[in-house]
Structure 1
Amino acid sequence: MREADAFAPFSPVVLLDGAQVGRLTVRAASMRGDSHNWEGSCRQDAMTVTRIGPPEAEMLLLAVADGVGSAVYSHIGSYEFARRAAVFLDREAEGIHAAACARDENELRVLATKAVAGAAAELRSEWALAAQHKPRPYADQDYATTLHVLLIPTDPRIRERVLCSVGDGGLFVLREGGWVHGDPDDGEGLLDPRTEALPHAYRSVKATLLCTVPGEVLLLGTDGITNPLTQKDPEFARRLADAWGGPDVPSLSDFLWQAQMRAKSYDDDRTVICVWEDQA
């Protein structure tokens, strides 16, 4: 409590959230990993569930951030970016909504990069100012974190979804009983995603456009859950598909229990947000 980092002692071990927005149902959980439990360190993941935009361009915003393990204040970086990015994306909501409907990925990338860069600039300024009263000088890398934001128009007639990404983690779609990548490499020669991090080590924000149909489940997560899926742990993937691909959306308590499912050799923090859509 008396050390320079006053944020960590108040970071909860588990966060749980949920929402019902029209035909969309959200379940979200963020949990401290076994490695951090063992070390006695705080959870470095963060998440946000909210709505942005005016009624005619309203979107459900889901965000997950994964603080870089070697960064001393990454838990602060992930917490702040998961929220501040939502504020700046809200300012661009009408343009993002229009670009999604037009399927204009170039414009989406421009708007997403502008919003995230604005959030980064504001946070860097605040952190640098605060550091003037602390023994440790401000350094970008101390707050390093990844960020993934999924934007879903609340109008059920609009099938386009937008994923804005910096760093590892990302999106999966549960389709026909199997998990499919929702954010394939765009092939533009950007920095290796494993090395990209906010607020400094990135060139632009990847903007991926995808369409889904009712009945498919969207999973947005940090690498504590996406790595076991990506690296082909078939038993883990099957159990999650069985838990979240059934006819009923799990309750909040059931979702938390399912989200904590063990994956061999993976003990990092885990944050996962899932979205179900009722069929008309």
Structure 2
Amino acid sequence: MDGTHRGDLLSGDDEGSEEVNDLLDDGGDTVSGVRRFPPRAAPPSPDATETTVLLRDELGLPTVGEIGGDLLGADGEAAARETGLPVRAAGLPARAVADTVIDEADHPGLALRAVSLRGDRNRAAGLPRQESFGLYPLEGFVLAVTACGFPSVRDADRARRLLRRGVADRLPELGAPRRDPGHFRGLCAQLLGRAVQEGPPGSLTAALLRLSPAGETTDCLLFGTDAASARLLRGGAWEPLPATLPAAPDGVHVNGRPIAPGEALLLCGEGLSGPMADAETADRLAAQWGAGRVPGRMEFGRQLDFRADGHDADRTAVCLWGL
């Protein structure tokens, strides 16, 4: 798409080589199907101690194993006992998943900022972040997806990538005028269903935006499985976005909502929608993002990195500003 799409080294998604991404596990040891074997260890000495450590299986998942030898050395073990210092870094998950991911994209008529932060609950337990997002350039459109409430970040990544593929395949239908609301709602439900049908349950929310020149309204198709995950910032106040097409028992919500210059659309999970039930939090974010004020990607992440009593889950959000 025109404009720029910049992510830091912890980008929310790198679709440039998606097949390699699927094979390259965060913390695993398989790249493009080629197994990396560790060097053969020397035989343990007769006086070596047995130390229990966390290993990784070929999927990158932690397993418990025994290896011979003193990992820290006698002096290191003694120092750890005397000082009470832990023998491993606290808070780091066994599987190497980034604590925080940040991304941004800019277009003459649209600005996007996205962040996914590991929650205090997972950080305290030494567990990895479980949520993710994706920003995807398509022909004449941009797609933003949040994947929240999944058991693992791998499940979240898989679901949003499947949704992106489905949207790309059906883009002509999704971008056409909605003459038959029932058929259109069914199409969105089909795309969401395919993205999650083979995996564990979670919440997917997507916004498909037609690229437009600066100063013009941006057409937006919003669809997802969580009605509380989207809201519009207009005139300094947040407005929930309920479904505008007929509701259905499958829980799919569809909303065709244009975004005018100066307005902002927020997609988020429970880690942010929960704290925003507090008026002070909602007002603070409205003041930071209202009237066309678009923060830089690092500032956006900092604005969302706050603590809220009773809300310690992962925090994932994508905000889209009409320019």
Taking structure 1 as the reference length, what is the TM-score of the superposition?
0.76
Q: 1:107 pairs with 172, 178, 183, which one?
A: 183
Residue 11 of structure 1: how far off its partner (Å) = 1.6
Whether 1:145 aligns to 2:227 is no
> How much does 1:187 deviate?
6.8
Contact 1:67 1:75 in 2 (8 A): no
Q: Output one character per residue of 1:1-45: Cα deviation in whole Å (capped at 9) or x when no partner.
A: 525752671321100000012310111000000011111111111
Answer yes or no: is the 8 Å Cα contact 2:266–2:318 preserved in 1. yes
Equivalent residue letter for 2:203: T
Matching residue of 2:167: 89
What is the Cα-based RMSD across aligned positions, in Å? 2.4
CA distance in 1 between partners of 2:257 and 2:180 (Å):
11
Q: Which residue of the other structure, out of 147, 151, 155, is the alignment partner of 2:212?
A: 155
Q: Take 2:149 and 2:231, find their aligned partners in 1: how far apart are those partners? A: 20
Query: SS at the partner of 1:10?
Result: coil
Q: Which protein is bigger by CA-based radius of gyration? A: 2
Contact 1:146 1:168 in 2 (8 A): no
2:231 equivalent among 164, 172, 186: 172
Structure with the higher fraction of residues in helix conformation? 1
Q: CA deviation at 1:242?
A: 1.1
- Residue 89 of structure 1 aligns with an amino acid whose one-letter code is V
Which amino acid in structure 1 is aligned with residue 208 of structure 2? L
Structure 1 CA distance, aligned partners of 2:181 and 2:263?
Answer: 22
Q: Secondary structure at the match of 1:211?
A: coil
The CA distance in 1 between the partners of 2:118 and 2:173, in whole Å, is 36
CA distance in 2, matches of 1:110, 1:43: 32
Aligned structure 1 segments of 4 or more residues deviating by more than 6 angstroms: none
- Whether contact under 8 Å (1:105, 1:207) holds in the other structure is no
Structure number with higher relative contact order (C-alpha < 8 Å, ≥ 6 residues apart) = 1
Q: Deviations over 1:78-119 (max 9, x none)?
A: 1111122101111011100003xx465323312212223333
Amino acid at match of 1:80: R
Unaligned regions of 5+ residues in structure 1, if any?
125-139, 191-202
Gaps of 5+ in 2: 1-54, 62-93
1:66 Cα deviation after fit: 0.9
1:117 aligns with 2:193: yes
Give the Å deviation of 1:150: 0.8
Pair 250,116 (structure 1): closer, same or farther in 2 beyond 3 Å: same
Give the counterpart of 2:301 among 242, 247, 256.
Answer: 256
Specify the alignment match of 1:6 in structure 2: 60
Q: What residue identity is the alignment partner of 1:119?
A: A
DSSP 3-state at the match of 2:122: helix
| Letter paired with 1:227 | G
Q: Distance in 2 between matches of 1:225 and 1:267?
A: 10
- Residues 243 and 253 in structure 2, CA contact (< 8 A), matched pair in contact too: no
For these two proteins, the number of residue pairs brought into alignment is 235
Deviations 1:205-246 (A, max 9, x none): 3222222211111111111111222xx301111111111114
Instruction: State which of 244, 247, 270 in structure 1 corresponds to 2:315.
Output: 270
Equivalent residue of 2:56, what SS? coil
Shift of 1:183: 3.0
1: CA distance between counterparts of 2:131 and 2:207? 16
